[in-house]
């Protein structure tokens, strides 16, 4: 081997610091896992607002959708009971029919949340 070939082999075997921009792994994470969940939750939110009476929907917030389970925060026991009755009376089936994915369960959990109504005023749920 001559000197040029030896230099080439030596350069190829040297450890190289590989730098990766932080945006690359975050972009992959967004595309493959978070992006899908966010789009599904957005679609469910539109369906939720369409099928639920406004008097009840303003007291709820969709918290998460994971593995077919939709978690919904409800700010009072009264609204939670009303919502349970509506869901048992066929509302769950209607939501499942409108949503292209699989909804196995709708879990209602008591919780506090903050939302903004269409007029732009902030509403706090206690």
CATH number of the structural domain spanning residue 62: 3.30.300.180
Q: Please tell me the predicted confidence (pLDDT) of residue 118.
A: 55
Q: Provide the token pair at 119.
A: 């007029």
Residue 54 within a domain: yes
Residue 9 within a domain: no
What range defines the domain where residue 57 resides?
Answer: 19-124
pTM, two decimals, is 0.65
Residue 2 within a domain: no
Q: Please tell me the predicted confidence (pLDDT) of residue 117.
A: 55
Residue 27 within a domain: yes
Q: Which residues of the chain have pLDDT under 50?
A: 121-126
Residue 116 within a domain: yes
CA angle centred on 91, ends 61 and 117, rounded to 5°: 30
Alpha carbon of 54 to those of 18, 37, 49, 83, 90: distances in Å? 54, 25, 8, 12, 17
Total domain count for the chain? 1
Residue 5 within a domain: no
What is the spatial distance between Cα 85 and Cα 96, in angstroms, rounded to a whole number? 16
């Amino acid at each position: 081997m001559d000197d040029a070939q030896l230099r080439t082999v030596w350069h190829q075997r040297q450890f190289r610091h590989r730098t990766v921009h932080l945006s690359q792994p975050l972009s992959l994470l967004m595309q493959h896992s978070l992006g899908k969940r966010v789009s599904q939750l957005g679609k469910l939110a539109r369906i939720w607002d369409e099928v639920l009476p406004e008097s009840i929907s303003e007291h709820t917030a969709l918290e998460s959708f994971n593995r077919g389970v939709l978690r919904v925060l409800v700010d009072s026991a009264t609204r939670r009971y009303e919502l349970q009755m509506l869901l048992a009376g066929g509302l769950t089936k209607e939501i499942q029919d409108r949503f292209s994915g699989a909804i196995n369960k709708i879990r209602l959990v008591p919780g506090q949340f903050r939302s903004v109504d269409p007029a732009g005023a902030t509403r706090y749920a206690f």
